[in-house]
Amino acid sequence: MSHSAGPATPRGLAAELRDAVTPRTTLLVLGALALQILFIASYVGALHDPKPHHVPFGVAAPGPAGQGEELVSRLNALSGDPLDARKVADEAEARHQILERKLDGALVVDPEGTGRLLVASGGGTVLATSLERIITETEAAEGRQVRTVDIAPASREDFDGLSSFYLAVGWSVGGYLTASLLALSAGERPANGRRAVIRLACMALYSIAGGFGGAVVVGPVLGALPGSLWGMWGLGSLVVFSVGALTLALEAWTGLAGIGVAVLIVVVGGNPSAGGAFPLPMLPPFWEAIGPALQPGAGTWGARSIAYFDGRALTGPLLVLAAWAAGGILVTLAAGLYSGSRQRSRDLPR
C-alpha cells in the first residue's frame, strides 16, 4: 500500500529571499548602485556649469613699447580668470603655437589699433565661441573692434566638434565590452600564461578591426572628420586595445568586479573629462586634470589632432594609451602565470 507524501512545508519569506538573492548578488547590486550614483555625480559635476578658466591665450602686440604687457595684464585680470594670457612675438608665432595646440587662441593687435582674434574651432567649437565672446566684449570696452579668424576650422559635418569625442567613446565601449565577453565566455581569470596570451591576442585582433571600422565610418562613410584614415585607424586600434587590456587585467585579478572597475575608470571618470562636449579648459579642475590621463580623453585629443592639426601634439596621448596597454598586458600575463603555477602546485603528487 503506497502512501502519498504530505504537502511540503511552506518556506518562510526570509528563506526564499536568501535563495533568490545570494550574498554575491547583493554585493553586485550594491556595486551597480554605487556606479550609478558616481555616474550621475561625475557627468553632472563635470558638465553642469562649463566656463573657461585659465585658457592658454597668446597676445601679439607689435605696437608701442609696453602695449603687449599692458594688454596681457588686463586680460589676466578679467573676472573669473577665464584666460591665461601670455605675450608672443608676432602673429606668425601665435599661429604656430595654436596649430601646435600649445595655445587655444590669440589676440593680434596691429600698430594702428585694429585687432584679430585667432581661434581653432577644430580643437573645440564651444571654446572658440567662448573666446570670441570674451575678447569681443573686452576689446569693445576699450573702443577696439576685433575680427575673428578661424585658422583650424571644424568640419561643417562635425557639429560642435563632437565627432572626435563620440568616436573615442565608441572605441572605448568596444574595448571593454569585448574584454568582458572574452572573460565571461571562458572564466574571468586566465587559467595559465598561454591562455592569457591568447586573450590578449584576440583583443589585439579585435582592436585592429574596431579601430579601422570607426575610422572608416567617421571618415569616408559619413565625412564627419577629415584627416588621415591610416592615422585615425592606428589611433583607434590603440584606444580599443588599451581599454580592452585594462579590462582583462582587472578581471584577471578581481573577477567579475573588474568589469565594474573598468566602467568606473573609462566611463564614469573618462567620458565626462574627455573634453568632448566642452574642451578641457571649460571643465572643473578635477576633471580637467584627469581627462588627458584616461583613454577617452587621449582618444578625443588624438582624433582632433589628426583631423584638424595635421597630426601635431600626438605624442602625449599616444604615450598615455601605450602606458595603459602595456600595464594591461603585464598584469594579465602575471595573473595567467600565477594561476598556472598554482594549478601545477595542486597537481603535484603529495
Pick 260 or 28 by higher pLDDT.
260
Q: pLDDT tens across 294-342, in order?
A: 999 999 999 999 999 999 999 999 999 999 999 999 999 998 888 777 7
Cα 1 to Cα 201: distance, rounded to the nearest angstrom? 66
Q: Tell me the torsion sign for CA atoms 286, 288, 292, 298.
A: positive
Cα 169 to Cα 149: distance, rounded to the nearest angstrom? 30
pTM (2 d.p.)? 0.90
- Three-class SS string for the chain? CCCCCCCCCCCCHHHHHHHHCCHHHHHHHHHHHHHHHHHHHHHHHHHCCCCCCCEEEEEECCCCCCHHHHHHHHHHCCCCCCEEEEECCCHHHHHHHHHCCCCCEEEEECCCCCEEEEECHHHCHHHHHHHHHHHHHHHHCCCCCEEEEECCCCCCCCHHHCHHHHHHHHHHHHHHHHHHHHHHHHCCCCCCHHHHHHHHHHHHHHHHHHHHHHHHHHHHHCCCCCCCHHHHHHHHHHHHHHHHHHHHHHHHHHCCHHHHHHHHHHHHHHCCCCCCCCCHHHCCHHHHHHHHHCHHHHHHHHHHHHHHCCCCCCHHHHHHHHHHHHHHHHHHHHHHHHHHHHHHHHHCCC
Question: Residue 256 has which C-alpha cell?
Answer: 567579475
Whether 260 shows a pLDDT value over 80: the answer reads: yes
| Confidence label for 163 from pLDDT (cuts 50, 70 and 90) | very high
Average pLDDT, the chain: 90
Would you state the pLDDT for residue 55?
97
Would you state the pLDDT for residue 94?
96
Average pLDDT over residues 149-169: 94
- Tell me the HSE value of 151 on the side-chain side, using a 13 A CA sphere: 22
Would you state the pLDDT for residue 67?
73
Cα 241 to Cα 245: distance, rounded to the nearest angstrom? 6
Whether 347 shows a pLDDT value over 60: the answer reads: yes
Whether 32 shows a pLDDT value over 90: the answer reads: no
Q: Which range (16-20, 30-34, 174-178) has the least confidence? A: 16-20
Pick 63 or 80 by higher pLDDT.
80
Q: Which residue ranges form the domains of the chain, and what is each CATH number?
A: 55-150 (3.40.50), 159-344 (no CATH)
Cα 257 to Cα 336: distance, rounded to the nearest angstrom? 17
Whether 13 shows a pLDDT value over 90: the answer reads: no
Whether 175 shows a pLDDT value over 90: the answer reads: yes
Cα 178 to Cα 184: distance, rounded to the nearest angstrom? 10
> What are the C-alpha distances in Å from 275 to residues 134, 212, 263?
20, 23, 18
Cα 177 to Cα 50: distance, rounded to the nearest angstrom? 30
Q: pLDDT tens across 202-217, in order?
A: 999 999 999 999 999 9
Whether 8 shows a pLDDT value over 70: the answer reads: no
Would you state the pLDDT for residue 262?
94
